Every structure is written in structure tokens, then in C-alpha cells.
Structure 1
């Protein structure tokens, strides 16, 4: 009897041990898969963000007017174009990720070409903004001299905007296959060349704006050339079958998903722009804007980490839904969220401790440093929220919920966040702190709503929806090859 009990206890202990080993293996496997996407994505975003920062630093040595014009063009023009095209391109994350998970590898190349067409047409629609920059800025009340220089810079930014078409789509195409290390290598090479050329052309040869902008354009296009060559020259043999006329077929569903994706992302980007605009109308706006600019700069760098996890969540969820595994999709959401939240919590504590001391990296003004110290708790809270919210947005992209999240963004940001910010900042005279608290409440509401949506989602149903989407737009491989043959002819 005692032997039987001991045997039973031993068996149960062995089962528990096996279960723990399996869980550890599962966590380790998922962590590796997550970092294969997140690591290069974070580095690439840091590098891309660094290109504009480096350009701004060298333009600052040319003259005050040039710096003001470049900063204005960067904030109003480039970030707007970046947001629209990045949002439109995120539809490719959903399509490529789910098709790759479903092992419909040949469809990735067709989706890539369809996305090129959609983004090219979108970029053409944005052209007037860059061609008529000067009259637009003058109409908005900007200084005429600054507006003229900004108009000149805007013409150069046309080349940058068209570079986003290749950059964003190829990144998402490669990320879906977990082949984005090549993107990180190219980004590192590009930023190195950019630093050298910016110094050579602006400081050494004194070419001024032409030198700085030439280097900027080259820094954006160099990685694109490398990515295209990698894709079409054998780096993606299973997923790239050559150019196909089938890319022009079934474009409308891609356009609809792209528009939903664009709306979702732009609503988030414009939210931060409105924060700056509201601050500009407060009393003592100079100190408020300087302090806010420092906080948003730090927040922007940290956001690059969060966007890396957004990419990881999108790829892992779309891959697992396409593969037909709802459990693996849910597990990847938990792992990505916890990892990002852990990093966010460490940074949250760090910025709470440092407070105003961070400001002296950017300014010598004690008044601005004190303002930053007052805003530091809000900056820390923003960083903590940013460690969760982008991951959930990535889950939405992976599952194809872009239109749902766009409505959530409108409600939480524009019906809750901004009105509360205006009341606190202007009516209750809390100034920049009040505006930011309102904006944080909007982000908090959005995060809570996304958590509830993710928690209550029937993931088995999402698997069926993903597979329906993949099968609905599936082109048999034989027809895809015929499309290539016709195109070659």
C-alpha cells in the first residue's frame, strides 16, 4: 500500500517536472522568436530616428534660419508623410504575416508588389504638400524667410517620402519571415555613411543645406537599394517569385485595409502633435515648449523600443493565426507584453529618480530644467504606458483589427484625452502639466480598452478569420508563375 502511494507521488512529481520543463522550453522558444524580430526592429528604428537627429545637428551649424526651417519641415512635412505611409504599409504586416504562417509563401511577393502600388499612389497624393510648402506655411502664419527655406527643404523631402515606399514595405515583408537582420546591417551601414558625408559636405566643403540634404536623401535610399537587391537576388527564394501582373489584381481589399491601418497610426501621431500645439498657446510658452520638447525627445527615443515590440507582436500573432494555432498566438501576446512592460518599468523608475537632471543634457537653463523636473513624473508614466500600448496595437495589426482600433483611438484620444487636457490646461490653469495629464488619460483609456478587447477575443475565431482572409486572396502558385511568364514576355 505504502509502495503504491510512493509510486503515485513519484509519478505526479515527474509530471510536474516535465510540465515545468515544457513551460521553460516554451518560454525560451517564444523569447527567441520574439527577439529575432524585436532586436533588429529596435536597432533599425533607432538608426532611422538617428538620421534626422544627425541631419538636424549639422543643419544647426549652417544657420539659425536653416535650423528653424529644417525643424519645421521635419515636424510638419516629413513626419506627416512618414505617418501616412507607415500606417498604409502596416496592412502588409497583416497580410504577409498570416500568409507566411499559413505557408502560402508565394503570396508574400504578390502582397509586396500590391503594397508598392498602393503606397506609390498615396505618395503621389501627398506631393502637393511638398511642392507648395512655402505658400502653405505663409498661409499658416509662419515667418516668410523661414517658409521660403522650408519650401526648398520640402522639395528635397520628396525624395525621402518616395524612399518610404520601398523602406516600409520591404521591412514588413522581411519581418514577416523573421529575416530582418539584413535591415539592421543596412541601417548601421547607412547611418555610418550619413555621419561621414554630413561632416564632409557641410563642415569640410561648406556646401550648406545642399550638402546636408544630399546626405540625408542618400541615407534613406542606401538601405532601400540593399533591401531590394536582397529580396530579388535570392535572399527570399520561397517568397519572391519575380514581378507579376497579378499584383494589379484584387487591389481594392488591400486599399481598404491600408486606409484602416493609415487612419489607426495617424490618429496616434497627430495626438502628440496636438499636445505641442496646445502647449504653444499657454503663458510662458517658450519655457513650456522647451521643457516639453526635451521630454518628448526622450519619450521619442524610448518609443523606438516600443515600436520594436509592436513589430514583434504583429509578426508573432499574424504568423500563429495563419498557422492555425490560437494558443501559440495568445502565448506570444503574453510574452511580448510582459517583456516590453518589464523594460518599461525599469525606465519608469529610472526617469522618476533622475527627474530634472536629464534636462542638462539638452540645456543649460535652470528654468527649463525645473520645468522638466515637474514634468518628469508624467514622462515616466508616458514611458510605462508606451511599453504596453504599442504591443497591443501590434496585436491589432497582426490580427487585422486596424479599423476597430482607429475607432478606439478617436474615442479615447479626441473625445476624452484632448477635451480633458484643454480643461485642465486652460480652464483650471494647470498649463502644460494639465494638457499632458489629459493626453495621458486618453492613452490610458485606449490601453485599457485594447486590453479588454484582446482579453475577450475568441482567438479560435480569429484563426478562422485569418485563414479565410488568406484563402480568399490566395492565387494558386501555378497561376502566379503564369503571371510572371506573361510579365516577362
Structure 2
């Protein structure tokens, strides 16, 4: 590919036809290269400055298999639809694998601690719930702003904004972690105020204190992952997690149950997880420095500490979109705990199952954000709209697979985690509702990804808040405690909330003015370009 492009470009220059093309006929833009530009007149006329992007249309590092890179060359919506199905599938698979490996970090800790004692397991579960609600959900929500900014920047004429916005997000998250640290270091008193068992609260607080060593790395990893993925480097986080995941499992074993010189018991699990998060961060930095082209990188400067308003605005809306969903689960778990041990054990089985299957539509939602953002940056409004429809169809297909699996194995599914006859029966009775839940959960996840690509996190937050807290949870609690439906009532309430979110999300995707979305991206990039020129005139320092 590179040889053909170079040959074509040399011919253009030798024939005096002008600048190098930004696209080639197979639909993949060229790799950054200026070494073949030989005529002196052309070089003098096109000398790059410090802020000049290395290429006018950066490439995706996954071979997309798109035959019509310019949507105007393809009159058929059906052809574009099939191409987008293929692209989204290629994007989703490595993201799904990455999240499965990361999900295994928590599973390894729970498995390791679960064999110490019931109290230790309860403390670790409580600590993880607290960490999710007060820390991880906040970080994920803030970083979702990058789903809007980075993909569009990468395919624009200013790909170095990918690096700049990533640096700015590091500043925003660093400031956000200060109150999170305060909560985690004072978790015991907070949990006691919430009437938790004193011994469990103490152990959970110990777990959280040791987990603080991994929180900055966790935040960095969320940002670096989007930095790579926006450039089409989906396999980079997957490779890193593939190496670190078994290391994490071994660390959990040795620290919690290993030989005397290295065994430290309960605190070994959070220490192992923190070390693993830091290993991912170090590996990401090394990979980014030595194995990735610097097209997306922006030199560190004072600009990294300015222009944070856009990130904060999108990030806070993203927190509302992400955290509202995470918090709804904790409320449902609290309600399930009031129904007795069997109901709580059943809820654990269903929650673990749904969390595992959710990784697939969640990966698709991230892939959708990247793909649509890239297309908006390329000003391909028509293809962006078709890609959104393709993502919804894929979500339905994936969810149908999970639903069929739950229905087919409903009578024996609980045995994976628990063999109590009452729990097995309860799980079997609720799984049909969970199967329906899967479909709307997948659609809602993908439409949320489309909204993030458009920078409409606030709309997503309002949908989730109204869907869960106004409709779903109150309805579920009413069914559970007033109508005597038990645990199934909570799941019916959750399903109703997701039906609401998915229907409205799909409607918003269908009625989107994609030309307007392209203009929003262009305007945003124009503002950043203006700021760059002003910074250059002011002689801002770089280091």
C-alpha cells in the first residue's frame, strides 16, 4: 500500500499537479511520510511548522475493508451499511477482549479473598461497591468526554489535538481524584454511619486504602486506552491486558495464599490489583513512546492546562450518564438484601452474569463512539448515520445470543456460582426476565455510545436519570414489596427503565441531523486551531 501511494504521489509532483493526495482508492488514507517529496519548489512551498499535522487525514490502524472511503462515491445505503457492520465488528472484538481481561482483575481478587472467610468476602464486596460508586464510575464518566473529542480530532486536519485533549483530561482527573482519596481514606467512618457491620466496615476501609495506590493508574489507563483506540490502535490495550491479566492472577495468589515470605493475606488482593493497574500504565507509556507514530502527540505545554471547560462540561454530563447507571445497581442490590439471604445470593448470580454479558454491548458502544467520531472528523455525515443504524442492529444480534443462552440454560445456570436448591430455582424463574433485559440493555448501551460521539452526554444523563430513578427503580420497588413479586419485581423495573432508555435513544439516533453534527466538530476544531495560533504568537513554552 505504502509503495503504491508513494509512486502515485511522486508522479503527481513530477507532473506538477500539486500536493500529495490525502486518500487513495482502496479507502485507506496514507501513512505519514514526507521523505519522497523531492522537488525543491514543492518542499519550500509546503514547509511544515511546529503545529502542522503530519498528514491531512490520519488512518485507522485496522484494515477496514471499506471500498468506498468517500460516501459520495457510493450511492447505495445498503453497501455502506454492510461495510459499517464489518468495521464495527473489527473494532469491537479487541475492545471486548480488553474489557474481559480487565474484568478478570476483580474476579481474581474476589476469588482469592473468598476463601479466607465470609467476613473477608463481604468486606471486599462492600469495598468494591464503594470504590465503584465513589471512584471508578466518576473516572469513567469524566473520561467519556474523550469519546466525543479524540476520534473526530484524529481524522481531522489537526490530529495532534488527540494528544492535547488527553493531556488536559489527565489534569481534570488528577484534580477529581483529590476528593475521591478523601472518601477512601475515611471510608470506615462513612460506612459506620451507613450502619454497616463494624468488622466488615473496618476491613472494607483497609481494602480501599490500599486500593488508592492503583486509582491514579486506573484513571491514566482509561485515558490512554482512548488515546490508542481513537487512532484505530484497538489491539494495543488488548495486548497489554493479555500480558498483565495472568500476572494479576498470580500476584493475587501469592500475596493472599502464597508462601510465607510473600503472603500478606487480605490486603494482598488490593495490592495485587494496584500493581497490575500500574503495570498497564507503564506498558502503555512505553508502547506509546517507542512503537506508535507521534502523529497524535502534542508537545507538552501550558496549553495542556488551559481550555479545560469543554472537557469539564462533557465530563460532568458523562458522570451523570455513567454513574447514574452504576448507582442504580447498588440501590437494587440494597433492595435485594432486604429480601433475605437466598434472594441476595440469587441477585449475586444474576448480577455477575449480566455484568459479564454486558461487556460485549459496552465494547460495541465504545467502538461506535470511535467510528462515528472518526467519520464526523472526516465530514462523512451520511456514513456516520448509517454506522449508527448498523451499531443498533449489531447490538440486537449480540443481545439475542445472550438471551438465547440464558433461556436455554436457565434451569442449570445458577450451578456455575451456587448449588443451593432455592437459589437455583429462583435464578431459573428470573432468567426469562433477564433475557429480555439483555436486548434493551444492549440497545441502550449502543445509543449511549452514539450520543457520546455527538457530545450529547447530558442527554444521555437525563435519559438514565429519568429512566432509572423516576420510572424503573420506583416501579420495581413497588412490584417487589407492594405487589409481592419478590426479586423478579426489581428485574422487571430495571427492564422497564432500559426499554425507556433504548426507545428514546434509538429515536434520537434516527432523528439526528448528521450534517449539523459535522459542523459542530468543525467549529470545535476551528476554536482549538485559533487557540493554537494565539498560543504560538504568545510564544508559549514547551518541554
Listed one character per residue, the Cα deviations across residues 146-190 of structure 1 (whole Å, up to 9, x for unaligned) are 111111111111122212221111111111111121100000111
Change over 3 Å in CA distance of 1:348–1:483 after alignment to 2: farther
Pick aligned residue for 1:164 from 218, 237, 240? 218
Change over 3 Å in CA distance of 1:482–1:209 after alignment to 2: farther
* 1:279 CA displacement: 1.6
Distance in 1 of aligned mates of 2:538 and 2:122? 50
Residue aligning to 1:151: 205
Change over 3 Å in CA distance of 1:33–1:477 after alignment to 2: farther
* 1:32 CA displacement: 4.1
Residue aligning to 1:130: 184
Residue aligning to 1:225: 282
Alignment partner of 1:102: what SS? coil
Aligned partners of 1:89 and 1:115 also within 8 Å: yes
1:397 matches 2:452: yes
Residue aligning to 2:347: 292
Residue aligning to 2:311: 254
Alignment partner of 2:541: what SS? helix
1:68 matches 2:122: yes
* 1:202 CA displacement: 2.3
Distance in 2 of aligned mates of 1:273 and 1:481? 49
* 1:232 CA displacement: 3.4
* 1:97 CA displacement: 1.4
Residue aligning to 1:213: 270
Residue aligning to 1:416: 471
* 1:25 CA displacement: 5.9
* 1:256 CA displacement: 1.1
1:352 matches 2:407: yes
Distance in 2 of aligned mates of 1:438 and 1:340? 21
Aligned partners of 2:365 and 2:446 also within 8 Å: yes
Listed one character per residue, the Cα deviations across residues 205-236 of structure 1 (whole Å, up to 9, x for unaligned) are 23212333322111111111111222234514
Residue aligning to 2:141: 87
Residue aligning to 1:7: none
What TM-score comes out, normalization by structure 1 length?
A: 0.91
Change over 3 Å in CA distance of 1:59–1:86 after alignment to 2: same
The aligned length equals 468
Residue aligning to 1:471: 526
* 1:266 CA displacement: 0.7
Pick aligned residue for 1:244 from 297, 301, 305? 301
Distance in 1 of aligned mates of 2:538 and 2:351? 48
Distance in 1 of aligned mates of 2:371 and 2:155? 9
Change over 3 Å in CA distance of 1:286–1:350 after alignment to 2: same
Unaligned residue ranges in structure 2 (runs of 5+) = 1-72
Please identify which structure carries the higher helix content: 1
Change over 3 Å in CA distance of 1:230–1:32 after alignment to 2: farther
* 1:241 CA displacement: 3.1
Aligned partners of 1:98 and 1:321 also within 8 Å: yes
Aligned partners of 1:230 and 1:236 also within 8 Å: no
Distance in 2 of aligned mates of 1:144 and 1:199? 27
Pick aligned residue for 1:277 from 334, 339, 347? 334
C-alpha RMSD over aligned residues: 2.1
Listed one character per residue, the Cα deviations across residues 230-270 of structure 1 (whole Å, up to 9, x for unaligned) are 22345141001332221111112211111111111111111
1:203 matches 2:260: no
* 1:87 CA displacement: 0.6
What TM-score comes out, normalization by structure 2 length?
A: 0.82
Change over 3 Å in CA distance of 1:218–1:279 after alignment to 2: same
* 1:391 CA displacement: 0.5
Distance in 2 of aligned mates of 1:28 and 1:240? 33
* 1:197 CA displacement: 2.0
* 1:57 CA displacement: 0.6
Change over 3 Å in CA distance of 1:236–1:165 after alignment to 2: farther
Residue aligning to 1:47: 101
* 1:473 CA displacement: 2.7
Listed one character per residue, the Cα deviations across residues 308-333 of structure 1 (whole Å, up to 9, x for unaligned) are 00101111111111211111101111
Aligned partners of 1:244 and 1:483 also within 8 Å: no
**What are the within-5 Å matches in structure 2 for residues 433-444 of structure 1?**
433-444=488-499
Residue aligning to 1:3: none
**What are the within-5 Å matches in structure 2 for residues 354-393 of structure 1?**
354-393=409-448
Residue aligning to 2:514: 459
Distance in 2 of aligned mates of 1:180 and 1:262? 24
Alignment partner of 2:213: what SS? helix
